[in-house]
């Protein structure tokens, strides 16, 4: 179980690796050959945030009251402290407490 390497999973990981490397090397290669307009750059910059929000939205829409409140608490703590550790720690405590209460 610990050292298990499923050939299919390895293939998926390899594909992820290639997809990532293409983007890392692509910028070096592309520029000078193709011009990225500032418009396209602004679109690329927004992508990570937009993807994260896209994962969260349906999850929260379909979530329980406990999930909503706990997510709200994580949001506030992350915003105030900028610390992943404190945010996640508070989040776990919050979800356990809320599930016990609600």
Q: In the range 31-70, which residues lie near another protein by CB under 8 A?
A: 31-32, 36, 38-61, 63, 67, 70
* Closer residue to another protein in complex, CB, 10/65: 10
Q: What is the C-alpha to C-alpha distance for residues 49 and 28, in angstroms, rounded to an integer?
A: 23
Q: Distances from the Cα of 50 to the Cαs of 45, 56, 67, 92, 100, in angstroms? A: 9, 10, 21, 25, 33
Q: What is the C-alpha to C-alpha distance for residues 19 and 31, in angstroms, rounded to an integer?
A: 18
* DSSP single-letter state for residue 33: T
Cα angle at 82 between 16 and 85, to 5 degrees? 70
Closest approach of another protein to the CB of residue 54, in Å: 3
Closest approach of another protein to the CB of residue 7, in Å: 11
Asked whether position 7 contacts another protein by CB under 8 A, the answer is no
Closest approach of another protein to the CB of residue 82, in Å: 7
Asked whether position 88 contacts another protein by CB under 8 A, the answer is yes
Size of the site for another protein (CB under 8 A): 73
């Amino acid at each position: 179980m610990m050292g298990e390497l499923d050939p299919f999973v390895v293939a998926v990981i390899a594909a992820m690796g290639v997809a990532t490397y293409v983007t890392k090397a692509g910028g070096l290669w592309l520029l000078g050959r193709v011009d990225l307009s500032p418009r396209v750059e602004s679109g690329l910059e927004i992508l990570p945030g937009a993807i994260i929000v896209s994962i969260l939205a349906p999850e929260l829409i379909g979530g329980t009251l406990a999930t909503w409140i706990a997510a709200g608490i994580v949001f506030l703590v992350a915003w105030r402290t900028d610390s992943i550790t404190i945010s996640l720690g508070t989040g776990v405590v919050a979800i356990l407490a809320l599930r016990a209460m609600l």
